[in-house]
Amino acid sequence: MPDPQATPKTTTIRAVIFDMDGVLTDSEPLINAAAIAMFKEKGLSVQPEDFLPFVGTGEDRYIGGVAEKYNFPLDLPAAKARTYEIYLELVPKQLRAFPGAVELVRDCREAGLYVAVASSADRVKIEANLRQIGLPLESWDATVTGEEVVNKKPAPDIFLTAAAKLGLLPSECVVVEDAINGVEAAKAAGMCCIAVAQTFPAERLQKAGQVRQSILEVSVEDLAPKPIGKDSAPPTIPPSPIAPIAEMQAAPFRPWGFWATIGFAFLIFFIFVMGQGVVFAIWVVVSHKKISSADAASNGLMLAVMTCVTTPLVFGFAWLFSWIRAGSRTAQYLGLRLAPRKEFIRWSIGMVMLVLLSDAITKLMGRPLVPDSMVEAYQTAGFVPLFWFILIVAAPLAEETLFRGFLFEGLIHSKLGARGAIIVSAGWWASIHLQYDWYGIATIFASGLYLGYVRLRTGSILVTMCLHGLMNFIATAETAVLLQLKG
């Protein structure tokens, strides 16, 4: 029976994230033999047990940790490449799936659950292993390799990245692991975990919610127990293929690569700038007034009109370029998914705390709480309700769709990984706010880092849109109060 404390009754599990080595495939003896052979070629005799502390941490640490133990100088990239050469020679002859592994993945599919692989191994090893056991990459809704994250297990990055790729909350995912480091990573990610004692003894895996002797003993009911008082219907999620893995027709979409993502994002940004330029030109012609671009940046009414024109353009083209790649899963590509109410509340509290901290630092530095450009924009807003609307609704819709939606999704799947996606999207977003000085741009960058982290943890830009709108609401309210006090 499932451990009642392993999966909260109020949480619906929607995805199963499998580790690969030691869970799906009996690959640990093979990579161990390959690494021992590599060290022997280089003149060092090592023992199989030397590698145990580094199981599940990726080949860099797996090989490098043993080299450090013996104080043995090693060209790690070359050593890893040679280890893989030896390993790939062994795979066709010796690698097999653990009994019950392929069947469990199929059963999860048939139960309507998403399935993902999150392994600290490099892609070349993952592709070879999964192809050998009949579960090729296209069979999965998401895959994460060790090359995509900076911090390997026991850090939670690899599982958080998998959840983000699936567009799910960490609490909606359950992990199947075999290694101590993997169990710690799953728990650090805030995910339920079931351990299989196929590599380590069961008593060393007790941090997991449940422990089974083998994956053959794991069932769908263990992974996604039905809530108390509910019927036996599977979780309500977008349909997954129900056919056996080998016959799957609907392969998961792959986001645009790094350069395509950057290129399309620049194109969307160019369309945004051109839209603003058209509004500016029409404004000058109609008003018969000379106005500089600097003046336009602080003209509230012009900003409102520009935003109303450009928001549909940004959202529309971001949707178009995502649809070309993802088709019917465009909303998932952009992160347009609902999250539980408590997630909105929890992260909103964090945003308020961040704004209060920023205001406190601003005061300590003797800087004005409200920038002059914001004061001027409010004073020239004309129709004030429209000004509030564009700041709280329209601007967050457009900017989050582009930066935390389209751009973020492409970057997180690139070699930049989650950390790079957060930093780059925050930096680009901050750089477009040229109406502020360096301090204002730095403040926006810090807010962007927070929004990017929220996007990673929730998988939803609906949450970041709300937080963005909340931040703008506080700034606009502070401006209104300031002008009221001055008036």
The answer on 236 and 337 residing in a single domain is no
Cα 288 → chain centroid: 49
Q: In sequence order, what are the beta bridge partners of 177?
A: 195
Q: Is 337 exposed, middle or buried (0-12, 13-18, 19+ CB in 10 A)?
A: middle
The answer on 175 and 76 residing in a single domain is no
pLDDT the model gives residue 294: 58
Does any domain span residue 459?
A: yes
> Could you tell me the two tokens for 38?
């590599």
The answer on 425 and 333 residing in a single domain is yes
The answer on 351 and 292 residing in a single domain is yes
Q: In sequence order, what are the beta bridge partners of 192?
A: 174
Mean of the pLDDT values across residues 22-48? 87
Q: Between residues 226 and 274, which one has the greater pLDDT?
A: 274
Q: Give all strands (DSSP E) within 382-428, no chain letters.
A: none
Q: Between residues 237 and 360, which one has the greater pLDDT?
A: 360
CA angle 8, 11, 15 (to 5 degrees): 110
Separation between Cα atoms, residue 111 and residue 397, nearest integer Å: 35
- Closest to 186 (Cα-Cα) out of 389, 303, 23, 429: 23
Three-state SS at 362 = helix
Q: In sequence order, what are the beta bridge partners of 142?
A: 116
Residue 400 near residue 337, CB atoms below 8 Å = no
User: Tell me, what CATH number does 42's domain have?
Assistant: 1.10.150
Residue 43 near residue 59, CB atoms below 8 Å = no
Does any domain span residue 346?
A: yes
pLDDT of residue 10 exceeding 60 = no
* Side-by-side strand order, sheet with 142-144: 142-144, 114-118, 15-18, 173-177, 192-196, 210-212
Q: Which amino acid is at 460?
A: S
The answer on 277 and 178 residing in a single domain is no
Split at pLDDT 50, 70, 90, the class of 329 is confident
Question: Which residue is it, tokens 């022997």?
Answer: 40
Q: Between residues 238 and 135, which one has the greater pLDDT?
A: 135
Separation between Cα atoms, residue 32 and residue 27, nearest integer Å: 8
Domain end, chosen from 46, 63, 94, is at: 94
Domain end, chosen from 247, 267, 286, is at: 247
Q: Give per-residue burial for 245-270: e unless 16+ CB within 10 Å, then b.
A: beebeeebbebbeeeebbebbeebbe
Separation between Cα atoms, residue 415 and residue 426, nearest integer Å: 17
Residue 145 near residue 83, CB atoms below 8 Å = no
pLDDT the model gives residue 363: 92
Mean of the pLDDT values across residues 320-337? 86
Does any domain span residue 126?
A: yes
Separation between Cα atoms, residue 64 and residue 77, nearest integer Å: 10
Domain range enclosing 76: 28-94
The answer on 271 and 210 residing in a single domain is no
Q: In sequence order, what are the beta bridge partners of 115?
A: 16
pLDDT in tens, 265-297: 999 999 999 998 898 888 888 877 666 655 666
Separation between Cα atoms, residue 226 and residue 236, nearest integer Å: 12
- Closest to 478 (Cα-Cα) out of 371, 395, 385: 371
Question: What residues have CB less than 8 Å from 30, skipping those under 6 apart?
Answer: 87, 90, 91, 94, 95
Question: Which residue is it, tokens 């899963």?
Answer: 329
Does any domain span residue 9?
A: no
Does any domain span residue 384?
A: yes
Between 22-31, 72-81, 206-215, 282-291, the lowest mean confidence (pLDDT) is in 282-291
Does any domain span residue 7?
A: no
pLDDT the model gives residue 449: 96
pLDDT of residue 239 exceeding 70 = no
Does any domain span residue 150?
A: yes
Three-state SS at 282 = helix
pLDDT in tens, 406-431: 999 888 767 787 788 899 999 999 99
Q: Between residues 295 and 7, which one has the greater pLDDT?
A: 295
The answer on 301 and 193 residing in a single domain is no
Helix, strand, coil in percent for the chain, rounding step 5:
65, 5, 30
The answer on 326 and 266 residing in a single domain is yes
Separation between Cα atoms, residue 29 and residue 59, nearest integer Å: 14
pLDDT of residue 149 exceeding 60 = yes
Number of domains in the chain: 3
Separation between Cα atoms, residue 20 and residue 97, nearest integer Å: 10
The answer on 213 and 84 residing in a single domain is no
Separation between Cα atoms, residue 57 and residue 100, nearest integer Å: 25
The answer on 472 and 342 residing in a single domain is yes
pLDDT of residue 8 exceeding 50 = no
Separation between Cα atoms, residue 27 and residue 98, nearest integer Å: 10
Question: 10 Å Cβ neighbour count for 67?
Answer: 19
The answer on 453 and 343 residing in a single domain is yes
Q: In sequence order, what are the beta bridge partners of 116?
A: 17, 142
The answer on 439 and 388 residing in a single domain is yes
Does any domain span residue 6?
A: no
Domain end, chosen from 43, 75, 94, is at: 94
pLDDT the model gives residue 323: 93
Q: Between residues 31 and 247, which one has the greater pLDDT?
A: 31
Between 249-263, 378-392, 393-407, the lowest mean confidence (pLDDT) is in 249-263
